[in-house]
Structure 1
Amino acid sequence: MEEKVFYRHQLVNDINIYYEFYPNPNSQKTLVLLHGFLSSTFSYRRLIPYLNKEYQVVSIDLPPFGKSGKSNKFVYSYRNLAQTVIQLVHSLGLQEITLIGHSMGGQIVLNILHIQPDIAEKAVLLCSSSYSKRSKIPLIIGSYIPYFHLYVKFWLARSGVVQNLQNVVHDHSLISDEMLFGYLQPFLKDEIFLALTRMIRDHEGDLPTGALSQIAHPCLLIWGEYDKVVPLSVGERLKQDLGRSELVILRETGHLVPEERPEDVFQHIKQFLA
């Protein structure tokens, strides 16, 4: 059966949101996918075909990433990003949803559950960012300096897409030209760096332990054994703070689990939702 997909843009919370909608007439459940920092829906391209066999899927580009808006007037706090996703979910009339978030997207999922618990039944956190603090004061002050966005651009160029991918993927043989271009493409225009400068300023830090303990949803945590970005120890701590959670560890896997182990991730999600 040929996969059907709708590529859409919608103005939500005063910013243009790009999302991909994969219908499945045989399923009542909708999976809402949120990607990580410096990423986009592109990072789910290998997982979505598996998920869409069983469920309806909506994959969202969180601003300022991917094809979503890059306004430097938008507030890029995690709370406001969570509110933006909530508004989009309501505008689409989605029911019986499960939130799935990778890395930073996982922290946005946790913010959504904290703000509006009744929006989702369950959540899946893939190597979810957690316990990071607000940006340091000198960096926040520096973000007000004219042309600071050029420093952000220089920093990203220096670290390089290849080096970043080698850091997040355990099996380097998976890194292809298609993958390199997919992750590089959103950073070919300067507007993203102006928005990232604003994001440095707006980021308020991750949810504290007290807030996490209030989340009562069943949560599936899937972690790569060799995650260098968000180490497994973070997943183990998160499992303690989320009362109804289970932790699955993928052996010989790094941070980018939807890229490295899409079929295994799908099987664990399917079992969890069953």
Structure 2
Amino acid sequence: MSKAVMTVHGFLTDIKDFGRLYDYLDFYDEVVPYKVPGHNDGESFDKFTVDATVRGMLQCFDNLAAKHDTVDVVGFSMGGALTTYIAVRRPVNKAVMISPSNKYFNLTSPLAMIRFYLRYIVKSLKTRTDDSRKELRNYLQNTAVSAGIAIKRIFPSVDLYTFNVFADLMELCDKVVAECSPVATKSLLLWGELDELVPPASVEFVESNFSNLTKVILPDVGHGMLYTNRDNVIIDHVVDFLSDGKVVANVPFEEKA
């Protein structure tokens, strides 16, 4: 049986959002990253519109469905929200939503982050071991990387960003929420408790519409989880889910600068 997978990246980034995940999808006959309009190299963000994004994504899926028996979809951030949209409108075999931005702005994130780091700082002070200090440094590093990704979503450089582009993102998220309906697609949701952008309400929204959902809540990662040295954990979960446990990725830990 022929099978394909389609990835959908986030806002103001590109297909590199998924990093090392691509290296572990070789059990598919075809892997196609969908490039959101306005997000390709040298392309104007003026091309990023709700209609163009949705139309292009559905066409990409239809092209794959015409060639393969099953098509899975993996989305991150805005791409995660778009994955919920396509799962309602197309026969998606499996859907993976990583930090899906069906809802935006996590006002509880600073408090969650303070609680998290207080816990690890206390642990580090109590044990005073090299391992505990290294663990704390890793978490601080991951938070800095993840926060950088989040800031890029909201305050990117002026030459790449206009208010209208961000307004289009909000319109797109609103459309996804308004037009979503209950589905039984086999699905996986991954979300970090330290997510700087996506609130718990987005997780609850997905839960309320996807009846066949596996939910993985990670206590030690933020929105940019795939960019941190915790990406191996996320990739392991995704590959295990997509392959029905037949492929054990066992992604090695990789120190990231």
TM over 0.5: yes
Partner of 2:90: 117
CA contact (8 A) 1:34 1:100 kept: yes
Cα distance in 2 between the residues matched to 1:210 and 1:44: 27
1:29 aligns with 2:35: no
Equivalenced residue count is 200
In the alignment, is the contact (CA less than 8 A) between 2:14 and 2:35 conserved in 1?
yes
1:40, distance to aligned residue in structure 2 (A): 0.8
C-alpha contact 2:190 2:215 (8 A) present in aligned 1: yes
The residue type paired with residue 202 of structure 2 is V
Structure 2 match to 1:83: 55
What letter is aligned with 2:90?
Answer: P
Partner of 2:241: 272
Check whether the contact 2:194–2:220 (CA below 8 A) recurs between aligned residues: yes
Distance 2:165 2:188 in 1: 32
Aligned position for 1:224: 192
SS at match of 2:233: helix
SS in 1 for 2:25: helix
> Residues 42 and 109 from structure 1, CA distance in 2 versus in 1: closer, same or farther, beyond 3 angstroms?
same
Partner secondary structure for residue 107 of structure 1: helix
Equivalence for 1:103: 77
Which residue number in structure 2 is paired with residue 212 of structure 1? 180
Deviation at 1:36, TM superposition (A): 1.1
CA RMSD of aligned residues (A): 3.5
Q: CA deviation at 1:212?
A: 3.1
Contact 1:101/1:109 (8 A) holds in 2: yes
Letter aligned with residue 18 of structure 2: Y
More helix by share: 2
Segments of structure 1 that go 5 or more residues without pairing to the other structure are 1-26, 134-168
Instruction: Output the CA distance in 2 between the equivalents of 1:213 and 1:256.
Output: 28
Question: 1:80 Cα deviation (Å)?
Answer: 3.6
Contact 1:132 1:206 in 2 (8 A): no
Name 1:172's counterpart in structure 2. 141
Q: How does 1:1-274 map to 2 (within 5 A)?
A: 28-52=2-26, 54-55=27-28, 56-67=30-41, 69-70=43-44, 72=46, 74=47, 76-77=49-50, 79-91=51-63, 93-95=66-68, 96-114=70-88, 116-118=89-91, 120-132=92-104, 171-172=140-141, 190=159, 192-193=160-161, 197-198=164-165, 200-201=167-168, 203-204=170-171, 205-207=173-175, 211-260=179-228, 261-273=230-242, 274=244
1:153 alignment counterpart: none
Q: 2:190 and 2:97 mapped to 1: Cα distance?
A: 6
Q: Could you tell me how far apart the structure 2 residues matched to 1:216 and 1:80 are?
A: 27
Q: Is the 8 A contact 1:127 1:223 kept in 2?
A: yes
- Distance in 2, Cα, partners of 1:36 & 1:203: 13
Tell me the amino acid that sits aligned with residue 67 of structure 1: D
Equivalence for 1:145: none
The answer to whether the 8 A contact 1:83-1:112 is kept is: no
CA contact (8 A) 2:104 2:197 kept: no
The share of aligned pairs that are identical, in percent, is 24
Q: Deviations over 1:47-104 (max 9, x none)?
A: 221233x3342223212124273263x4611x54122112133345552211111111
Q: Please, which runs of 5 or more residues in structure 2 have no aligned partner?
A: 106-137, 245-257
Counterpart CA distance in 2 for 1:113 and 1:38 is 23
